[in-house]
Chains A and B, each alone.
Chain A
Amino acid sequence: MVRESANHSLTMPGHAVKEMIDASQKGNLTSFELLVHEHQSYAFSLAMRFVANEDEASDVVQDSFIRVWQHLSEYNPNRKFRTWLYMIVTNLCLDRLRVLKRRRTLFSSNERDGENENVSNGHDMEKIHSNEELASIVKRLAENLSTKQQLVFTLRDLQDLTMEEVAEITGMSMGTVKTNLHYARKEIRDILVRHYGVVRADV
């Protein structure tokens, strides 16, 4: 299931989120459930950008919130809750990606050879009707980047976070984020333009 939107929006004001966190830190599960309600779509969409399917993404979301609950006492209130949650989700996704990549290497070493070249098989700009299809192509292209490049590209260009948030979540310096972003974008843009040629803004 996908939704089209310019960006995510929270329904709860910032001070309310803080109150929920305070109450949760004191062990109030009802408040924590409200936090989960408020942030699950963020967590899920980020997880889906990284992992293979909805089941995997749901597992990541569950594990992330359990981890948030267990480590609430360590949460620094000066930090944005969303950034902290994203950091946890990202780390869990990376763990899963590593396992996935290892499995792929073990069982199908040749399967992905030249995948970038074949990403457009059966597609051209006229045939890509849905944004969902396009998102899936971009995601596959991102999967072929190095882990760091995939990470910064996904957080910055797909999840639309600020450069500062990306640096904080990944633990990279701003320079490293920019370098990885440059290579990631170059790779993906090159393939997109090569395979889909001139595109119209109103598609």
Chain B
Amino acid sequence: MNCKQFDRMLHLNRPGELSAREAELLLSHLKTCGRCALEKVRIEQADILIERARRTVPLASNPDQLIAVTMRGVRAAASKPLWVSAIESVLDFFWQPSVRYASMAVIVAAIGLFTFQFLTMFNDIYKLELSAKAVVHKPITTGTYYSVESGSLKELATSTELHSLLPSGTLKSSNGQTIVRQSDITSILSAYGLRSLSTSVASSVLRIDKRKLEQIIDDVTKNAKTFTEF
């Protein structure tokens, strides 16, 4: 151990502050180190002054008055209705500096998150509207068709609900099978993009029932790989 470590022990010199082992180590160090022994003397000199300060106990100049005023406050608090005390203790809790700063941090974070989501949402809505528009105006062309192993898509093959998203005729029923054009698989799978947006917002933009939309997204996600060439 070096003098710096012993310096810490020297300053922790009141009863109960050092272990017996530490006290023993310190004692033997002091026998050999003049610098630390001198520091000990300095500490003892200062401690005489600190001891005098400790012995000086400040008292209220009029303790009876202090007690009377205190009890007046206590009686006022005791006579308050419970709900007032409850509100006050909640306010007291939030008035604590640590809670105050934590609350402020949470509020700032919440505002930041909301702003971020808000901006991102508008961006997503814009993209969705653009893609929906593009799909609607896309001319129907002939191409390779695939069968779709998907319950909801089969159901939608005869539905008009997805007209705003997909051009009519994208999904067809043929010989008891639901078929889809290869070029439109991408359009259907773009529904993945809806996941980045709240389904409530997306369903409102696309004017599709929210539960239906969630069902379609889940279905397309699960069955995307089961498209087989027709």
Taking Cβ atoms with an 8 Å cutoff, the residues of A that contact B are 1-6, 8, 27, 29, 32-33, 36-37, 40-41, 44-45, 48-49, 54, 57-58, 61-63, 65-66, 69-70, 95, 98, 131-132, 134-135, 137-139, 156-158, 160, 162-163, 178, 181-182, 185-186, 188-190, 192-193, 196-201, 203
Contact = CB atoms under 8 A, between A and B. Distances in A.
B12 A178 contact: yes
Contact of A192 (B7, B12, B50, B70): B50
A70 B57 contact: no
A2 B61 CA distance: 8
Interface stretch (B71-79, B123-131, B151-159, B197-205): B71-79
Contact of B42 (A62, A181, A193): A193
A36 B75 CA distance: 13
A34 to B, nearest CB: 10
Give chain A's interface secondary structure class: helix
B209 interface: no
B143 interface: no
Interface in B106-151: none
B57 A33 contact: no
Contacts of B48: 199-201, 203
6 contacts: A27-B78, A37-B67, A54-B60, A61-B66, A178-B17, A200-B48
B73 A41 contact: no
B53 A193 contact: no
Given A54-B61, A134-B52, A181-B17, 5 more contacts: A33-B71, A37-B67, A40-B70, A70-B77, A158-B50
B46 A188 contact: yes
A162 to B, nearest CB: 7
B17 A132 contact: no
A199 B49 contact: yes
The 3 closest A-B pairs by CB, nearest first: A189-B46, A48-B58, A135-B56
A46 to B, nearest CB: 9
B176 interface: no
A131 B73 contact: no
Nearest to A186: B11
Interface centre among B11, B16, B49, B60 (most CB of A within 10 A): B49
Contact of B77 (A2, A69, A138, A160): A69
A138 B74 contact: no
